[in-house]
Amino acid sequence: MLTKIVEEALNEQIEVECQSSYSYLAMASWCEVKGMEGAARFFYKQSDEERLHMLRLFKYINDSGGHALTPAPDKVQLHFKDIMEVVDCFLEGEVKVSQGINKLVYIATQEKDYTTLNFLQWYVEEQHEEETLARSIQDKIKLIGLEANGLYLIDKEMGSLSGTANAETI
């Protein structure tokens, strides 16, 4: 059984994951219209994953006697200067999600809710992987540069990342 405090905190995280899903959808669309099909595939997949992270929280809250609340996302950034800005925003988004997860872990600890703490471990690991991924893409873009050939390589690289990542289910 969840305490009200934990339930509210989990619902706040639903909002964060939902917001990420919409942000990445906008990034995917921007990449697609710029002809970067590989990067678009990458962000469509990231967007889907964030939705699954949100649904995982829905299921957990409802199965634990709480009520998962469907969020209304805020407006997201639709236009970007270049692919570097997109990836910078991606990393920023992941850092924000990690902060939310860390806050949740803190609250669950304060509330002595060990079941929720256990549930959150998956998110802790996931966030570590996602931040690492975003930083590695940032590093590669810096290395390759944004000239014509560079853009082609970055797109190819990001497309291959979307193909190799594990499929997730809730």
Nearer to ligand OFO, 85 or 131 (CB): 131
Nearer to ligand OFO, 120 or 141 (CB): 120
3-state secondary structure of 28: helix
As a three-state string, the secondary structure of the chain is CCCHHHHHHHHHHHHHHHHHHHHHHHHHHHHHHCCCHHHHHHHHHHHHHHHHHHHHHHHHHHHCCCCCCCCCCCCCCCCCCCHHHHHHHHHHHHHHHHHHHHHHHHHHHHCCCHHHHHHHHHHHHHHHHHHHHHHHHHHHHHHHCCCHHHHHHHHHHHHHHHHHCCCCCC
* Residue 47 sits in the site that holds ligand OFO (CB under 6 A): no
Of 129-158, binders to ligand OFO (CB under 6 A) are 130
Nearer to ligand OFO, 44 or 151 (CB): 44
Among 7, 15, 94, 155, binds ligand OFO (CB under 6 A): 94
* Residue 53 sits in the site that holds ligand OFO (CB under 6 A): yes
* Residue 127 sits in the site that holds ligand OFO (CB under 6 A): yes
Nearest distance from C-beta of residue 52 to ligand OFO, angstroms: 8
* Residue 13 sits in the site that holds ligand OFO (CB under 6 A): no
* Residue 20 sits in the site that holds ligand OFO (CB under 6 A): yes
CB 52, CB 169: distance < 8 Å: yes
* Residue 15 sits in the site that holds ligand OFO (CB under 6 A): no
Nearest distance from C-beta of residue 62 to ligand OFO, angstroms: 19
* CA 164 – CA 17 distance, rounded (Å): 22
Nearest distance from C-beta of residue 105 to ligand OFO, angstroms: 14
Nearer to ligand OFO, 116 or 127 (CB): 127
Q: Which chain residues interact with ligand OFO by CB under 6 A?
A: 17, 20, 49-50, 53, 94, 97, 126-127, 130
